Amino acid sequence: MPESVDQIRIAILGASGYTGAELVRMLARHPAADVRVLTAERQAGKPLAEVFPHLAYLNLPNLVKIEQVDWSEIDFVFCGLPHGTTQEIIRALPHTVKIVDLSADFRLSDPASYAQWYGHEHAAVELQREAVYGLTEFNRQGVRSARLVANPGCYPTATLIPLLPLVLDGLIQTDDIIVDAKSGVSGAGRDAKQANLFCEVSEGMHAYGVGHHRHMPEMEQELSIAAGVPVTMAFTPHLIPMNRGEFITTYVKLAGKNGPDDLRAALAARFENEPFVQVLPAGVVPHTKHVRGSNQVHISVFKDRLPGRAIVLSVLDNLVKGASGQAIQNFNVMNGLIETMGLEQAPMFP
Amino acid sequence: MPESVDQIRIAILGASGYTGAELVRMLARHPAADVRVLTAERQAGKPLAEVFPHLAYLNLPNLVKIEQVDWSEIDFVFCGLPHGTTQEIIRALPHTVKIVDLSADFRLSDPASYAQWYGHEHAAVELQREAVYGLTEFNRQGVRSARLVANPGCYPTATLIPLLPLVLDGLIQTDDIIVDAKSGVSGAGRDAKQANLFCEVSEGMHAYGVGHHRHMPEMEQELSIAAGVPVTMAFTPHLIPMNRGEFITTYVKLAGKNGPDDLRAALAARFENEPFVQVLPAGVVPHTKHVRGSNQVHISVFKDRLPGRAIVLSVLDNLVKGASGQAIQNFNVMNGLIETMGLEQAPMFP
Amino acid sequence: MPESVDQIRIAILGASGYTGAELVRMLARHPAADVRVLTAERQAGKPLAEVFPHLAYLNLPNLVKIEQVDWSEIDFVFCGLPHGTTQEIIRALPHTVKIVDLSADFRLSDPASYAQWYGHEHAAVELQREAVYGLTEFNRQGVRSARLVANPGCYPTATLIPLLPLVLDGLIQTDDIIVDAKSGVSGAGRDAKQANLFCEVSEGMHAYGVGHHRHMPEMEQELSIAAGVPVTMAFTPHLIPMNRGEFITTYVKLAGKNGPDDLRAALAARFENEPFVQVLPAGVVPHTKHVRGSNQVHISVFKDRLPGRAIVLSVLDNLVKGASGQAIQNFNVMNGLIETMGLEQAPMFP
Amino acid sequence: MPESVDQIRIAILGASGYTGAELVRMLARHPAADVRVLTAERQAGKPLAEVFPHLAYLNLPNLVKIEQVDWSEIDFVFCGLPHGTTQEIIRALPHTVKIVDLSADFRLSDPASYAQWYGHEHAAVELQREAVYGLTEFNRQGVRSARLVANPGCYPTATLIPLLPLVLDGLIQTDDIIVDAKSGVSGAGRDAKQANLFCEVSEGMHAYGVGHHRHMPEMEQELSIAAGVPVTMAFTPHLIPMNRGEFITTYVKLAGKNGPDDLRAALAARFENEPFVQVLPAGVVPHTKHVRGSNQVHISVFKDRLPGRAIVLSVLDNLVKGASGQAIQNFNVMNGLIETMGLEQAPMFP
C-alpha cells in the first residue's frame, strides 16, 4: 500500500452479518482504511475467524461489544446493526466520529412516515433530520459535508439510479411507476430462519412483502423530491435462489413524445462520467452475474409492446452497491478521498 | 395396474428432450397409457437409458426415427418436436391417430399472425384451423372432440388461467395488462447452448426476449377472444436459476369499483371444482416450489399500493402443467378418461 | 384408488419435517394407506397447509400433539421424531400398533454401543432388542414379522446395499473399507440453523463429522454381522449444495484374485430381482439426479488404479430410499402388501 | 496505481474462457500488468464486452487471432488454449517472451508419459524438457529463472500442496494414497456441452473419469519425485453443483509412529510463511466457500477411525489458485515482483 495516504481508524458495528463481512473484504484492500474495531454483541470475545473463517488470514481484531469500544481511537463508524437498534447507539457517539449507517433508521426524513412504516416513534429525531441520504451519484455535495450518512437500501439504490434522472427530466409520468424487483437471498441477512434454509429457498422462488415492503416509502420519498409532487408507486419484491444480485424491472409511462431511445440517451448522458454506472447499448439486457462482487450498476431501456410505455432494467450486487460498497463510496466522499478507492474490484464471473 | 382400463397405444415424438422425459415419467403410472414408440432423430437406435438413465428401469422401447414408426400400431401421439418442424409431420399422420402437439406450431389460429411472429408461412394451414387450443380448464368441450390439440405454452398457461376469468367477467381493464414472468431453466430446452451452461445461469438472473417473446401473441389471442376486443399486453420474461417453476406477477387495472377481494372471490368461485387450480387465501403468497413436479396451479391476488390496481400472482411447474402434464390432461379428456388420471403425483418438496 | 385393498389407518409422528412431508407425498397415492393423524408438537393446531403449503390440496387432518392421539383408531405409526425423543414415546404405544421408526433410536442393537455414541443410556432397552433393522433387501423375513422396525439411516442404506453382498461373499477385505460420502442438504433437517442457510450452503461444500459421524457404528454393526468379525471402517461425509441425493464412493481392497468385474457380476446377480436396486453396466457412472424422488438405488463398480483395489459407487435419494421410501417399503412388507406399492413414482429429472 | 512499477506488456491467448476472464479480473488491479492483447480464434474481431459483458467497463482491446499479434510489443504471455493446441504456438513465439502455460501440454516432463495419456506424440519435446512445473510454493527457484512455466492443474495443486511435504518428510506411506476429489463446474470449461447445462448439473452430483483422469499422471510425477520412488495413487474426481471450488479428501497411511497431529504440525511449520496457504487448527474443517475468489489454500488434518490412517482435507478456488491466480503468482516470481502482487483480493462470501 502507498504510504502517503493517511489512515482513517474505523469501527464496524455489527460485523458478524453479511454486510459486515463485505465491508471487511473491501476495506482490506483500501489504502486509507485502518479497521480497528469489530463489534458483534452475541459473538463478542470471539476471533473474527470463528464467524467468518474466510477472513481469518487478515489478522483483524477480535469481536467486542459496542460498550467496550474506546471511541477516542476511532475516526469513522460503519454501522450495520439491525433496523431499529441503531438510533440510540448513534446518538451516543462522540461528534468527532463520522458515520455511515447501513440500517433503515435514518433513511426516512419525515418522523411521521418513519412511525407509520416501522410501528414506533423514532428515538433520535434530531439525527433523523441531520442524516444525509447517501445515494452518492445524486447527493455528492450533501455527503461530502455530512457527519451522518444514511446509506440507501438495496432496492432503492437499484431502482432510483435509473428512475431519478427520468423523473427529474420529466421524461416519464410519475403516477404509474410499477417496479417488479428480484433479489438474491443474502439480502435477507444471516439470522437463522427456517424460511431462508437452503432446502426452502433453492430450486424455487416467490414474492414477499407484496404491497407493503419497507423500502417503498424510501423510494417514494426520493421520487417525490425529484418530481416536486408526492409520488406513489407499485413495488413487488421476489426472492431468487442465488446469493447476490438484484434485478429491477420497471414499467414506466412515457411523458410527452418521448420514446425508449430518449430515455436511454438521457441516462447515458447523465451517467457518462460516473465510474459505477453503465448504461448498456440498445438491445443489451443486463445480468446480475455481470456485476457480482463489484460496485457496478448496469442499466438498459427497452420499448414496451404497450403503446406509450417503456421498460427500464437495472442490476447491482445487493451487498456491494446495494450496501457495503456504496457505504465505502460514501466513506470516500466524506473523507475527501478518491471516490473509487477500495472499490476497484472487477465483477467475479462465474 | 387395474386390468379394466383399455390401453391406448402411444407414440412420443421427440422423446429425448425434457418434455419427453416428463411425459414418460407420468405416463409410466398412467393406467391407460401403453407407450409403444419413442422417437428422437439424432439419437435413433439408442436405448432410452442412454439419453435418460433415470428411466432405464422402465424397460421402454429403443429410440427410433419418425419414418420408422408403424402408425397402424399407434392410437395417440404426443408431439414434442421443435417449433417449426411439426407441421408437415402431423399432416402426414393417419387420421385415426389423435394428437397433442406441445410445440407452438398450432397455437396461433391466424395464419398471418403465425407468419409475422415466426418469420415464415405456415406449412399446414388447414391443420392450424382444425387445431383446438388446449387450455383444458377453459376449453374442455373443444378438447373432448378434437383430433389435434395445440398444447398451450408454459407462460400462457400460467398467465391465462388467472387472467381469463377476470377478463371474461369484466373485472379488469384490458388495455393495461403488465405481465412480469419468471421461469426456471428447463423451459429453455436440452440443446447444448453456452448461454444455458451451469456456470452462465446459476447465481444470477436476467430478462430475455424483452418486448418480443413468442408467447405474447398466444396470450393476446386468448385474451382478445375473452375480451371481445383486441388486447395488447406487456410481457417480460426472466430466467431464474432453478430447474423448474414459473412465477407470474401480473399488474392489472381494476374495472369499475372492484377491489382485490372481488377478484379473489371470482377466481375462487371459478376454480372451486377444478382439481388442478388452487386459489390461495388472502395474504398467502404462492411459491413455485409448492407445485414442483405436480400439475397444480396456485393463484393469489393482492392489493396494489397504486390506487385502482391489483397484483395477481400465479405459479406452476413449466414442465408439468406448463407442458407435459397439461398434455396428459388433454389426452385424458380426448379419450374420455378421468381428467386427473396419471396426474395425481403430489408436488415434491424440497 | 381400487376399492379392494384394505385401508390401514396411519399416524405420522413428527410430520412437520422433510421426512414427514415425503411420507405424505408418497402415501397420498398408496392404495392401502389412510393417513388419519399427523403430529407436530410446536405446530399443533395448525393445518398441514401452514407448514407444507404444497400438500394443502390433499385435505389431510390438522396437526396435533402426540398426547391428543386416539390410538384405538390407529393401526400403524411412522415415527419421524428427533433422535433421542422416540424411545419413551414408542414404549407407551399400544402393542396392537405396528411401527416404523425413522430415527436412530433403535438401529444399534447393543445398548453399550448406543450409550457410547449418543452419550446417554438407552431409555427402552427391551425395545432396542425387539427392533428389527429394516434394510429391506437384506432382512425381509425379519421385517415381515416385526412389530417395530428401525428404519436405517440414509448413509448406511446407500453404503450397505452394495457392500453387504461383497462382504458376505468374501469378495473384499474387511479391514480397509474407506467410505467417502456426499449428501444433499435435506439430510440436515428443517430446523432453523445458520449453518444450513442458503447463503452458507450454496456455492460451496465441506466435510463434517470427520471421524465421528453417528452413522458409523450402524454401518459397522451390519458389516460386522455380515463378516462374522468386528469391522472398523473409515467414513467421511460431505455436504453438497443440492436438496436431495447421496453419492457414496467406497474404496475397497479385493480379496483373493477377484477383480472389479467379479464384484459387479456378484452384485448384479444378487440384485437381479430387486425392484429398487439397479447395478449399472461396466463404465457407467451413477448420478444422484437419476434417482431423485424415487426409491431407486444405482450401483456401479470400477477398477482402481491402485493394484488390488476397486471403487464402488452408489447413489440414492436420501429422503426416499434413504428415509421415507424405505419406511413405506417396510410398511408394505410388515402388512403383507406388494412391496412396491405406493413407491412406483419414477425419478424426476431435471 | 503507483507510477514507480515498470509495466509488463501482456498477451492472454485464449481469453474467452473462464480462466481468461479470471486473469483479466485479477490483472486489472495488478500494478505491473499492462494487458495489451487478448486472443480468441472464433471470436476474433469482437470487443471483450461481447464475450464477457462484466469486463466491458475496463476498456480492454478487442479480441484478435493469434496470427495478428505483433510480438515485438509483448513481454509476457498467459497461454490458456485448449490442451493439445498449445505446443506449436508456444514453439513459434520469440524467445524474448516469457510464458505461463495454463494447459496440460507441458506438465508431464516425460514424453512417453505424455504420449500414453494424451494419445499422440508431443509436438514440442524440447519445450516439454525446458518447461518448469509451476507449483510455486515448491519450486520458486525454478520458476524464477524459467522462460516457460507449466502451470499445474487444479486437482494437482489442491492435492500436492498438503501431500508433498508429508511425502518429503516421510510421514506417510506412498503406496496407498487415495484421493477423493470434488470440483465445481467451472473446471469443465465454457464450451457448450449438454452435460454441463444447468438442468443436467444442478441439484445432483456424480463421479467422472473414474480411474483414468488426466490429472493423475501429473500428480504421480510430482509425488514420485518427492518420494524418490515411483508412486501410484487412487484418484476419483466428482462434479459438484457449484461454480467454483475444489475439495480434496485424501486418505493416507501413516508412516512409523506418526499421528494426525504430527502431520498437522509438519504442514503448519512448512507453510508458516506462505501467504497463500493456511493450515487450520485441529478440528476445523475447510469449506470451499471460504477461499472462493481468492488465491488461498486451506488445509486440515483429521484422525481416521481406521487405525494407522489419517484424513487430509484441502480446498482452493479452481479458477484462482487452481489456475489463473497461480499463473499470476508465477508471473510475479518470473518477473522479480512481490509474489502476492495483484492477488490480495479477499475471498467473497457469500
ipTM of the complex: 0.96
Size of chain D in residues: 350
From B204's Cα to the closest Cα of chain D, the distance in A is: 11
Calpha distance C144→C93 (Å, rounded) = 20
The three grid cell numbers given for residue D149, joined into one nine-digit string: 512455466
- A 204-243 → B contacts, CB under 8 A: 204-208, 210-212, 216, 232-236, 238, 240-243
Calpha distance A238→C108 (Å, rounded) = 46
Q: Which residue in C19, C50, C198 has the most chain A C-beta atoms within 10 A of its own C-beta, making it the best mutation to test that interface?
A: C198
pLDDT tens digits along B133-156: 999 999 999 999 999 999 999 999
Count the helices and strands in chain D (H runs, E runs): 11, 14
pLDDT tens digits along B297-341: 999 999 999 999 999 999 999 999 999 999 999 999 999 999 999
Positive or negative torsion for Cα A15, A18, A24, A27 = negative
Query: Which residue in chain A is spatially nearest to C241 when comparing CA positions?
Result: A198
> Which residues in chain C are closer than 8 Å to A190, comparing Cβ atoms?
194, 197, 199
Q: B69-72: long-range contacts at Cβ-Cβ below 8 A with a sequence spacing of 24 or more?
A: B69/B11, B69/B37, B69/B39, B71/B97
> Which residues in chain A are closer than 8 Å to B304, comparing Cβ atoms?
211, 234
Residue B1 sits at the chain D interface (C-beta within 8 Å): no
pLDDT tens digits along D57-101: 998 999 999 999 999 999 999 999 988 889 999 999 999 999 999
Inter-chain touch C285–D210, beta carbons under 8 Å: yes
The reported pLDDT for the residue numbered D4 is: 60
Q: Is the pLDDT of residue A2 over 50?
A: no
Of C48, C79, C143, C154, which residue is the catalytic one? C154
DSSP run (H or E) holding A24: helix A18-27
Nearest to A202 among C192, C194, C198 (CB): C198
Nearest to A247 among B206, B244, B285 (CB): B206
- At residue D220's C-alpha, the angle toward residues D215 and D226, to 5°, is 135
From C33's Cα to the closest Cα of chain A, the distance in A is: 27
Calpha distance A229→D254 (Å, rounded) = 76
The three grid cell numbers given for residue D274, joined into one nine-digit string: 506462505
Q: How are strands ordered across the β-sheet holding C177-183?
A: C206-207, C233-239, C177-183, C246-253, C309-316, C297-303, C277-279
Count the helices and strands in chain A (H runs, E runs): 11, 14
Give the closest residue to D187 by CA, choosing from D173, D201, D174.
D201
Stretch(es) of chain B classified as CATH 3.30.360.10? 155-318
Using CA atoms of A109, A115, A121, A126 in order, give the dihedral in degrees to the nearest 10: 10
pLDDT tens digits along D253-307: 999 999 999 999 999 999 999 999 999 999 999 999 999 999 999 999 999 999 9
Give the closest residue to B344 by CA, choosing from B4, B15, B31, B42.
B31
Q: Is the pLDDT of residue C298 over 50?
A: yes
Residue A42 sits at the chain C interface (C-beta within 8 Å): no
Inter-chain touch A191–C191, beta carbons under 8 Å: no
Q: Which residue in C198, C210, C280 has the most chain D C-beta atoms within 10 A of its own C-beta, making it the best mutation to test that interface?
A: C210
Within a 10 A sphere around the Cβ of C195, how many other Cβ atoms? 14
What is the amino acid identity at position C258?
N
Place of cell 510475479: D332
Give the closest residue to D21 by CA, choosing from A346, A175, A248.
A346
Q: Is the pLDDT of residue A1 over 90?
A: no
- Averaged pLDDT, C75-102: 94
Check: CB of residue C100 under 8 Å from CB of residue C79.
yes
Give the closest residue to D205 by CA, choosing from A251, A281, B82, C314.
C314
The reported pLDDT for the residue numbered C308 is: 96
What is the amino acid identity at position A86?
T
Rg (CA), chain D: 20
Across chain C, mean pLDDT equals 96
User: What are the residues facing A246 on neighbouring strands?
Assistant: A183, A316
User: What does the DSSP assignment read for A249-309?
Assistant: EEEEEBPTT--HHHHHHHHHHHTTT-TTEEEPPTTPPPBGGGTTTSS-EEEEEEE-SSTTE
The three grid cell numbers given for residue D190, joined into one nine-digit string: 465454457
> Which residues in chain C are closer than 8 Å to D200, comparing Cβ atoms?
289, 350
Query: Which residue in chain A is spatially nearest to D275 when comparing CA positions?
Result: A57
Give the closest residue to D238 by CA, choosing from D228, D226, D246.
D246
From B54's Cα to the closest Cα of chain C, the distance in A is: 4
The reported pLDDT for the residue numbered B132 is: 98
Q: What percent of chain A has pLDDT over 70?
A: 99
> Which residues in chain D are closer than 8 Å to C200, comparing Cβ atoms?
289, 350
Calpha distance B321→B292 (Å, rounded) = 10
Spacing of C-alpha B328 from chain mean position: 10
Inter-chain touch D201–B201, beta carbons under 8 Å: no
Check: CB of residue A28 under 8 Å from CB of residue D346.
yes
The reported pLDDT for the residue numbered B320 is: 98
Nearest to B207 among A240, A251, A285 (CB): A285
> Which residues in chain B are closer than 8 Å to C24, comparing Cβ atoms?
346
Q: What percent of chain C has pLDDT over 70?
A: 99
Nearest to B185 among D18, D198, D241 (CB): D198
Q: CA separation (Å) from B204 to A225, A244, D244? A: 33, 8, 14
pLDDT band of C2, cuts 50, 70, 90: very low
User: What are the residues facing C183 on neighbouring strands?
Assistant: C239, C246
The reported pLDDT for the residue numbered A4 is: 60
The three grid cell numbers given for residue D290, joined into one nine-digit string: 471460504
Place of cell 448420478: C287
Beta pairing class for B233-239 and B206-207: antiparallel
The reported pLDDT for the residue numbered C4 is: 60
Query: Which residue in chain A is spatially nearest to C186 when comparing CA positions?
Result: A199
Spacing of C-alpha D252 from chain mean position: 23
- Averaged pLDDT, A97-101: 98
What is the amino acid identity at position B195?
A
Inter-chain touch C199–D350, beta carbons under 8 Å: yes
CATH for the stretch D8-152+322-334: 3.40.50.720
Query: Which residue in chain C is spatially nearest to A199 when comparing CA positions?
Result: C243
Phi, psi torsion values for A165, nearest 5 degrees: -60, -35
Strand ranges (DSSP E) for A125-166?
A: 132-133, 148-150
The reported pLDDT for the residue numbered A5 is: 73
What is the amino acid identity at position D266?
A
Residue C272 sits at the chain A interface (C-beta within 8 Å): no
Using CA atoms of A186, A192, A193, A194 in order, give the dihedral in degrees to the nearest 10: 110
Q: How are strands ordered across the β-sheet holding B63-64?
A: B63-64, B33-39, B8-13, B76-79, B98-101, B148-150, B132-133
Inter-chain touch C186–A199, beta carbons under 8 Å: yes
Beta pairing class for C148-150 and C98-101: parallel
From A301's Cα to the closest Cα of chain B, the distance in A is: 10
Inter-chain touch C202–A198, beta carbons under 8 Å: yes
Inter-chain touch D344–A244, beta carbons under 8 Å: no
pLDDT tens digits along A200-225: 999 999 999 998 899 999 999 999 99
Chain C and chain D share a number of CB contacts under 8 A equal to 157
> Which residues in chain C are closer than 8 Å to A197, comparing Cβ atoms?
185, 190, 192-193, 196-198
Give the closest residue to C326 by CA, choosing from C80, C13, C83.
C80
The three grid cell numbers given for residue D331, joined into one nine-digit string: 508471473
Q: Is the pLDDT of residue A151 over 70?
A: yes
User: What are the residues facing C77 on neighbouring strands?
Assistant: C11, C99
Calpha distance B161→B169 (Å, rounded) = 13
Q: CA separation (Å) from B251 to A161, A254, B308, D208? A: 23, 17, 11, 47
pLDDT tens digits along D205-243: 999 999 889 999 999 999 999 999 999 999 999 999 999
Inter-chain touch D196–B198, beta carbons under 8 Å: yes
Check: CB of residue A178 under 8 Å from CB of residue A244.
no
User: What does the DSSP assignment read for D57-122?
Assistant: GG-PPPEE-GGG--GGG-SEEEE-PPTTSHHHHHHTS-TT-EEEE-SSTTT---HHHHHHHHSS--
pLDDT tens digits along C233-280: 999 999 999 999 999 999 999 999 999 999 999 999 999 999 999 999
Give the closest residue to C117 by CA, choosing from C128, C108, C126.
C108
b (16+ CB within 10 A) / e for B78-92: bbbbeeebbbebbee
Catalytic residue annotation of D: 154
- At residue C255's C-alpha, the angle toward residues C252 and C260, to 5°, is 60
Calpha distance B157→B312 (Å, rounded) = 14
CATH architecture of B155-318: 2-Layer Sandwich (3.30)
Nearest to C344 among B29, B56, B244 (CB): B29
Give the 3-state secondary structure of residue C18: helix
Calpha distance B146→B335 (Å, rounded) = 10
The reported pLDDT for the residue numbered B1 is: 42
Inter-chain touch C346–B284, beta carbons under 8 Å: no
Nearest to D180 among C180, C287, C292 (CB): C180
Phi, psi torsion values for C116, nearest 5 degrees: -65, -45
Stretch(es) of chain D classified as CATH 3.40.50.720? 8-152+322-334
Query: Which residue in chain B is spatially nearest to C18 when comparing CA positions?
Result: B350
The reported pLDDT for the residue numbered B203 is: 98
Calpha distance D80→D59 (Å, rounded) = 21
Nearest to D344 among A29, A52, A349 (CB): A29
Residues of chain B whose pLDDT is less than 50?
1-3
The reported pLDDT for the residue numbered B4 is: 60
Give the 3-state secondary structure of residue C102: coil
- Averaged pLDDT, A64-83: 96
List helix spans (H) across chain C.
Answer: 18-27, 48-51, 86-91, 111-118, 125-130, 140-144, 154-168, 198-201, 215-227, 260-270, 325-334
User: What does the DSSP assignment read for C183-206?
Assistant: E-GGGG-SS--GGGBHHHHTT--E
Query: Which residue in chain A is spatially nearest to C195 when comparing CA positions?
Result: A192
Query: Which residue in chain A is spatially nearest to B243 when comparing CA positions?
Result: A203
Check: CB of residue B218 under 8 Å from CB of residue B104.
yes
Residue D202 sits at the chain B interface (C-beta within 8 Å): yes
From D92's Cα to the closest Cα of chain B, the distance in A is: 31
